[in-house]
Amino acid sequence: MTSARTALIFGTRQDCGFLRHHLGVRLSRGGLLAKGIHVDLTTLAKMAGFKFHLFLRRDCYERLTEESQPLSDNDDLDALLTALRDVLMEAEDFEQPMPFDANGVPLVAYANRVDLDDPRPAITVVLREEGNLHD
């Protein structure tokens, strides 16, 4: 993804209250990770060429993986990264939820920031029934 495209996706209009507003959480990203509510896939995403942080809700992660498979060998996570790349490249408005499917699992991606006090760009993926598709 080019830096101009990344700048478009993660413009300065991303609000610090994003996590609270769209995902209904009252914890920082660190708190969500510590409690196991979110899973950090940033290392895997960067190995696949993504330039930003990637987080999945725990239940989304569990639907896409099997405990017996190593993370890097999981075809479902590869499908997630491919589908996510496609939806990001086709999206016109990154301030809106971006629904997509990965191996038949309905998902929603949100462009946001790493944490409430960390403005680095991130993507959070949740199951579509959890996602807030309305303003």
The yes-or-no verdict on residue 5 having pLDDT over 50 is: no
- Label the pairing between strands 53-57 and 118-127: parallel
Kindly state whether residue 123 falls inside one of the protein's structural domains.
yes
- Is there a domain that residue 133 lies in? no
What does DSSP assign to residue 35? Answer: T
Quickly state the pLDDT bin for 84 (edges 50, 70, 90).
very high
Per the structure, the complete domain to which residue 64 belongs is given by 3-127
Q: Tokens standing for 75? A: 């075809």
122 in Cβ contact with 114 (< 8 Å): yes
**% the chain with pLDDT above 70:** 70
User: Would residue 40 count as lying in a domain?
Assistant: yes
pLDDT, position 6 = 41
pLDDT tens across 18-33, in order? 444 444 556 788 888 8
Considering the chain, what is the average pLDDT of its residues? Answer: 75
Residue 90 resides in a domain:
yes
Q: Vertex 120, ends 116 and 126: CA angle to 5°?
A: 65
Domain count for the chain, please give it.
1
**Domain contains 134:** no
pLDDT-derived band at 4 (thresholds 50, 70, 90) equals very low
Residue 105 located in a structural domain:
yes
Mean pLDDT throughout 34-61?
89
pLDDT of residue 16: 37
Q: What integer pLDDT is reported at residue 83 of this predicted model?
A: 92
Query: What mean pLDDT do residues 97-120 have?
Result: 87
